[in-house]
Structure 1
Amino acid sequence: MPTSNHQDWIRTASEIDRFERIEAFFNDHAYEPHRHDTYAIGRTLSGVQSFHYQGVMQHSQQGMTMVLHPDEKHDGESGTQDGFRYRMVYIEPAKIQPILKGKPLPFIQHGISTDPRLFKATNTFLQSIENHMEVLEEEDALYDLAMALNEISVQPLSQRLSFDYRAAEQAREFIHAVSERNISLDDLEKSIGRDRWSLSRDFRLLFGTSPHRYLTMRRLEKVKINLIKGASLVAAATDAGFYDQSHMTRHFKQAFGLSPAHWKKINHLP
């Protein structure tokens, strides 16, 4: 197991194909500004985890819960000279929507919460990544998390908007089915039978990002899995549907704040 004596490391739980859970240590600067289309939910185990969020520097310490909203830009660094250690789980909005029954996504103000309900609801996902999680355990934890997020969320104005959840979900399924193709909003419109701009608006509202960003992130998830399995950067890029390695690398850094080569170097399976 990696130690925390001034050497950065990331460890990824083995169930990365279901939920990506990590534990990591960073001594100083961790991530460049980036954004991903999942909720990033975590807690700091030691030290102070500092990050810019919606233009304000936030500081996560033990006892708090971080909830970074999909597509919100953020970075990461140590708030002290001792570095910081944390656990994080990345939750796709699409996994929460069947529980919320098509409501706009919950939003946690400032990206940090001290609410005990949320802290308790994240215990299962943020347990040691060495602990294997059974499918039913994950599903129960997902329900508890969705309910807690919904209870303490700042309700956005978008709650008043009308939207078509069924069409947005059909578009999401279509993207998964053709993730290696170069598709357009016109393809989505013809497949789903809903005006492309209304569909794009509803997709952003319900899944936290645009259709194109959603497609790109699914490809990047496949890249991560392939890199962990030992694939080269070139092979991981082409297998996931990117034009070439440089195309993949550009999107990887924008999504995760690290280059894929550096991410692969410091990542360890338990």
Structure 2
Amino acid sequence: MRGAKRRPLGDIVVDDIVEEDPVHRGLSGPMIPGRRRAVLYACAVWGYTGVVPPPERRPIAGGRDEARLWRVDTLGGLEVLRARYVEFTFPPHTHEEFMIAVTEGGAALPTYRGGAHRVGPSDVLVLNPGEVHGGGPARGYIWQYRAFYPGAGLMRRAGREIADAARDVPQFTAEVVRDPHVAALLRRAHVALEEPRSALERGARLLQALACLIARHASDRPPARRIAPEHRAVERARQYLEALPAENVTLETLAREAGLSAFHLCRVFRQRFGLSPHAYQTIARVRLAKALLTRGLAISQAAAEAGFYDQPHLTRHFKRILGVTPGRFLTR
């Protein structure tokens, strides 16, 4: 069951959306006061916090090992992995990049930092570049997880975006990050990188997830930058999205157009318009598709010209925003 509430935080309004379930209820307790400012800066930008839906917790037998590793060009590029391991176990090895893994189901017993550490649903494993690690599913369990492998440059950038100042590469020392909100953001970003989503949404979700992880759990947490209205800057970004709704604009391009850092743009854009840039872009695309349908274009053609991947992609957002499907709109 999903619940939502809106709460003011100084000059920010935060919408908390929490998946209410017996597994995660009560896990998002009060934050440590010393972390509050940076945490809310990173996590309230898009106005969404949540938890990963409760995955299977009991031991699961049978099945086979499955994994997919691919590279995306979002925010300069990184590799991502989605895996479901039943028997496979990694030998001790290292990565040149960070490893950030969020467990979706089952349990694992990876070895690193001098010992074995059990991880379960919604747990996040963060390893710095060069850290030796290995292992696999815990006995009698599968291990289903999603992983990111961002380079040091991308992690430094995410930390710099929070404070708007030069930062060293963040480091992580916690054995396991148990933070349902960060897990939810990471999972949503990973899904966006796997499914057909706009470049703007992919960049925004990935940057948000990495920034929130750094703000809450890096050993040297960056101080938060205070919001300034930036009315002219966000208006330039809005006009760009209105003028070119079908363009697959990246977050970096939109930030350059506005003259702001990418993370700060997302923050002040939502403060000004009540929507993230990619949500605003989707609405602009639906409006364009509606106009094209009114002019007599077929639904599939309107979807393509408005920037949607295909007709089902348009139909989903058209119904969500306007309350009817494109087909029903045409037969009104």
TM-score (norm 2): 0.41
More RCO (CA 8 Å, sep 6+): 1
Larger radius of gyration: 2
TM-score (norm 1): 0.50
